[in-house]
A and B are shown apart, each in its own frame.
Chain A
Amino acid sequence: MSEKEKLMVVEDLQVSYGSIEAVKRISFDVYKGEVVTILGANGAGKTTTLRTISGLLKAKSGSIRYKELELTSIPAHDIVGLGISQAPEGRRVFGTLTVEENLKLGAYSKKTINTATLSWIYELFPRLKERNKQLAGTLSGGEQQMLAIGRALMSEPEMLLLDEPSLGLAPVLVKTIFETIKQIKHSGVTVLLVEQNAKAALKLADRGYVLEVGKIVAQGTSKELLESPDIQEAYLGKKK
């Protein structure tokens, strides 16, 4: 692992909402080509972490280094152009825009829309192609999730941030989504995956971090985490 290039290094990151400290000096890194997952219960600070990476929240202290750049001082609208895109929690698709318009907006940071990328996304999600003239707000939850991921891929990111892509989806669809994330990884995109569905996430990821009330309490390879008795009990529903 150490021979590979570090794509992102987060150090002592601290993020607060007023007096509420949501992320308490966490550190983690992501290597090029990896799928890294951040696990944790509701309110652990996962979304806060991803929003800070994308520039939507300001860090109180600490650093987020991406390649040679310090992201904490870069405005949100410039970050996607650097190669980091996000499919946010709750999908946040533009409901009164068509599927195709949503996808095209994903490539807003590009001068031109790469039709090969668009075709690839339609290949990943044939449902989106069938419904490309439909308003995004009329899609089912699973289709909206596909759209959110597809939209994030339109910027041709080096690193994709996914915030609970399986949230609220039927088990079949969860499987499809995770299957697609695997394909995205194989295409060479580095993925930082936030999940509460620990089992599915660890099966897919190379490494993982466990977040509890704003602190990282465990980390390791997916195998290590899957075999850890503490993790099994707290996140995988197994008795010690």
Chain B
Amino acid sequence: MDIFLQQLVNGLTIGSIYALVALGYTMVYGVLKLINFAHGDLVALSAYIGLVIMMQLIGVVSSKAVIIIAVFIFTAIIISIFGVLLERMAYRPLRKAPRLSAVVSALGASLLIENGIMLIWGPMPKIFPASIVPNINWNVGGVYISLMQLLVLVISLILMIILYFFVNQTKLGAAMRASAIDQDAARLMGINVDKIIVTTFIIGSSLGSVGGLFIGMYYRGIYFNMGWIYGLNAFVAAIIGGIGNIPGAMLGGMLLGVFNAFISGYLSSSWALALTYVLLIVIMIFRPTGILGERVAEKV
């Protein structure tokens, strides 16, 4: 029972990170019907950039809380700029081109960022400082939960609630959902769809940057091609939840995180990736559109 609860906590932690990253895939897919393969690499880049900012601030600023908040905010801004540039340079010129062109462009952008990271920071892993988040652990009835885990869980949850509120309760959120359904009909409402797409990239990149920073601070080791594996897991999470569906990405991320943790806890972590695909295939067989994908059949 203890191992169950412990792996549940661990799984929800990594699941939150997957969910944050999965949101970026699913939101961009929603408005562009395009898999932004470079998203995972932006997540990796955010860990590197966050580390640079952190190292600059340590020694200048004494409060760790201030350092952490500043790192999150500046990294989110920088990665958002990268996300907007990515859309402008790699995807917008191909909006009317055949789908394959955009896919190739996405893969190209992914390789460019990944190799750019390697050129700047080298092929060896970088390590986040140990004590930036105080190493505090609580024992809750035999289950250990660290301050870092608590931060990941709480911040992710808050961000997801804000996102959910934004998308469902605000005018801009409604415009975003409308643009995802029918771009021309959205234009007829007076919605500037290009602006909505840029907004989507900003939100997706910001959430991804939080995910990337959590990876760095939680696992501490970061490497230039980590965007590939985290991106893949998050992408699978988005598909499991129903690509294009925002609550689906949250659910898919949590589900995959917990699933991976149980595999690691009861079997071995080396099984995790293989069994992730088994889970994906099983879900695709029973729910080809993902768990929450396309709940409403549209009448014509």
Residues of A within 8 A of B (CB): 54-56, 75-81, 85-86, 88, 90, 92-97, 101, 104-106, 108-109, 135, 137-141, 144, 151-152, 155
Contacts and interface: CB of A to CB of B under 8 A. Distances in A.
Nearest to A98: B174
B187 A94 contact: no
Interface stretch (B32-40, B121-129, B176-184, B255-263): B176-184
Contacts of A138: 296, 299
A157 to B, nearest CB: 11
Contact of A76 (B181, B182, B187, B296): B187
B103 to A, nearest CB: 24
Best-surrounded residue of A79, A94, A97, A137 (most CB of chain B within 10 A): A94
Given A77-B187, A109-B190, A104 B174 contact: yes
A55 B299 CA distance: 27
Interface string B184-214: 1111111111000000000000000000000
A80 B174 contact: no
Nearest to A152: B188
B177 A77 contact: no
8 shortest interchain CB distances as A-B pairs? A109-B190, A95-B298, A76-B187, A92-B185, A80-B190, A137-B298, A77-B192, A108-B189
B296 A96 contact: yes
A198 B181 CA distance: 32
B175 A144 contact: no
Contacts of B177: 94, 96-97
Given A77-B191, A109-B190, A139-B299, A97 B185 contact: no
A15 to B, nearest CB: 15
Contact of A94 (B185, B192, B300): B185
A56 B184 contact: yes
A76 B297 CA distance: 28
A144 B299 contact: yes
Contacts of B185: 88, 92-94
A80 B189 contact: yes
A94 B182 contact: yes
Interface of B: 171, 174-175, 177-178, 181-182, 184-193, 295-300
Contact of A108 (B182, B190, B297, B299): B190
Contact of B178 (A54, A86, A105): A105
Contacts, number: 82
24 contacts: A56-B184, A75-B192, A76-B187, A77-B190, A77-B193, A79-B190, A80-B189, A81-B190, A92-B184, A94-B177, A94-B185, A95-B299, A96-B298, A97-B181, A104-B171, A105-B175, A106-B189, A108-B189, A108-B190, A109-B189, A135-B296, A140-B299, A141-B299, A151-B189
Contact of B174 (A90, A95, A97, A139): A97
B175 A108 contact: yes
B190 A97 contact: no
Nearest to A110: B190
A93 B178 CA distance: 9
Contacts of A109: 189-190
A105 B296 contact: no
B296 A108 contact: no
A137 B175 contact: no
Contacts of B298: 95-96, 137
Contacts of A94: 177-178, 181-182, 185
A135 B177 CA distance: 13
B98 to A, nearest CB: 15
Given A88-B185, A95-B298, 15 more contacts: A55-B187, A56-B184, A76-B187, A77-B193, A80-B188, A80-B190, A86-B188, A94-B182, A95-B296, A96-B177, A96-B181, A109-B189, A109-B190, A135-B296, A137-B299
Best-surrounded residue of B182, B188, B298 (most CB of chain A within 10 A): B188
Contacts of A104: 171, 174
Nearest to B195: A77
A56 B296 contact: no
B299 A92 contact: no
Contacts of A105: 174-175, 178, 186, 189, 191
Nearest to A144: B299
A86 B297 CA distance: 25
A210 B197 CA distance: 39
A80 B174 CA distance: 17
A105 B193 CA distance: 13
A120 to B, nearest CB: 19
A137 B189 contact: no
